[in-house]
Structure 1
């Protein structure tokens, strides 16, 4: 736990230093050009780092609680698991195989969508949740492949990794949006016009930059999915993970209401993300199923 936490903190410090260094370069250039008053960029950079990483880490700390709230997931009591005793035992056995320091909570949420996800702030405080659609549509071998995939996400520290990248993206988006908005506002004559232009340009710039940042986040997420598939093959066996992906492909053709799908907040660490909007296609967090199956077959 502490070794992983130490690496995470070190990575956070390094990323913050890199952002500050790049921001300092931009500050120096713009200040020398006389485009921005001295001192503004420094304060803006610090503010954006605090807000960018603050929001990301607050989301991480509350991830398990918010996932339960958003999905209505019910945690299974291991001492009174009833018909789901086999599911809890399977997840715990896989967690031991992955050398997790603490057994993750196992939960079930009501949804016709064939899905499962991992969440939680650390390897010692995590949860694996399964939809009722997945549990009723898959056999136990396929569910074992799905579960091992989610356990690998926890083992690899993907929640923390995605949070660090999201925090970095937030900081860049906030910083450059404010700079562009200020430069645009300075061209206006009246205080009212400057305020209006600043607000409008800042909002538009944030939307544009966040869309661009989402492409990087999605690329990173796709890489983590391949790693989680490989980890599942090592824990549960290659054929079980392949069977799980084939089952997802077979069962995912059903029309599922958007409000019954896994929330966006946890979709990056879900086994299946089949949203079909144009934005989801451009910035898909999951590789196509056939590519994932081919990668497993090549192992």
Structure 2
């Protein structure tokens, strides 16, 4: 449950900071005094909604390295690092993208992630635990899955979707606050409405509610995107290897997950969950469903 709260908090933080900024700049006051200029409001919300999402995208590699302790392999110091570099280069070539940076992060759980602002400037990293416990063909399948994320442009698409949803969250929150303010004015003998603090509080509450809905939509897309990355991994490394890798990950779901919450959407696994709310906001589908999808696709 803590993972869900942190995931939602990350998404809502951008919106709330933008809300405060809009208020300090007087945009909210101007729009409410003018009777709500919907075109102007939508433009302002779009600028702030997309800005936070795109900034996060552009610094994603830097943040990933710092938050995970990933060490980039510049010059291989052993046979395993040489194999990693060669394998990623081969998979990237087969996928038609530029070879990403390759790194290792010090987590005991088997995991991996890909991030970067475009498919030709990406980072693929694997955990030390994954290298220690998985067979080479399974590691290769995991790497192929992450290369699939990069080749599909998932990082950019996810950022754009988040930015658009942020826009509408801020827009509709202010529309709701404006409607509540007008309603109170019409019911009050002295024409009093929400006032400065009342309007701002309604906006924040509405943003939290709409933000939860937006987070569920982003999570749904992320789950859909995982199936596509699994399919790309199966195409690049073989269906059997991809299925075996996911089965190995399933066997390790009881181990502590050391992946930072800001990167769970780009990891290969976030464990299993049977709770309804966790499934709604989960960035990954259950591993059983992913394995089943791969096996069904291989029979077609």
TM class, shorter-length: 0.7 to 0.9
What is the deviation of 1:252? 1.5
Aligned to 1:269: 266
Q: Specify which of 115, 120, 123 is matched with residue 124 of structure 1.
A: 120
Unpaired runs of at least 5, structure 1: 1-34
What SS class does the counterpart of residue 268 from structure 1 fall into? helix
What SS class does the counterpart of residue 91 from structure 1 fall into? helix
Structure 2 residue 228 is the aligned partner of structure 1 residue 232? no
Aligned to 2:59: 62
Q: Specify which of 143, 163, 169 is matched with residue 165 of structure 2.
A: 169
Structure 2 residue 281 is the aligned partner of structure 1 residue 280? no
Q: Specify which of 104, 110, 119 is matched with residue 108 of structure 1.
A: 104
TM-score (norm 2): 0.80
Alignment check: 8 A CA contact 2:71 2:105 kept: yes
What SS class does the counterpart of residue 211 from structure 2 fall into? helix
* Aligned-CA RMSD value: 2.1
Structure 2 residue 295 is the aligned partner of structure 1 residue 297? yes
Instruction: Give CA deviations for 1:199-228 in whole Å, capped at 9, x if unaligned.
Output: 211111111111111221111111111111
Alpha-carbon distance in structure 1 between the residues aligned to 2:260 and 2:285: 18
Alpha-carbon distance in structure 1 between the residues aligned to 2:209 and 2:51: 21
Distance 1:279 1:36, change over 3 A: farther
Write out aligned runs for 1:194-209 (5 A): 194-209=195-210
Alignment check: 8 A CA contact 1:185 1:195 kept: no
What is the deviation of 1:85? 1.0
- Aligned pairs, number: 259
Alignment check: 8 A CA contact 1:75 1:107 kept: yes
Alpha-carbon distance in structure 2 between the residues aligned to 1:264 and 1:239: 30
Aligned to 1:28: none
Alignment check: 8 A CA contact 1:184 1:197 kept: no
Alpha-carbon distance in structure 2 between the residues aligned to 1:81 and 1:216: 43
Unpaired runs of at least 5, structure 2: 1-31
Alpha-carbon distance in structure 2 between the residues aligned to 1:289 and 1:278: 16
Alpha-carbon distance in structure 1 between the residues aligned to 2:71 and 2:295: 35
What is the deviation of 1:38? 4.5
Distance 1:66 1:192, change over 3 A: farther
Runs of 4+ in 1 over 6 A off after TM superposition: 188-192
Alpha-carbon distance in structure 2 between the residues aligned to 1:156 and 1:193: 47
Alpha-carbon distance in structure 1 between the residues aligned to 2:143 and 2:223: 18
Alpha-carbon distance in structure 2 between the residues aligned to 1:246 and 1:275: 12
Greater Cα shift, 236-245 or 178-187: 178-187
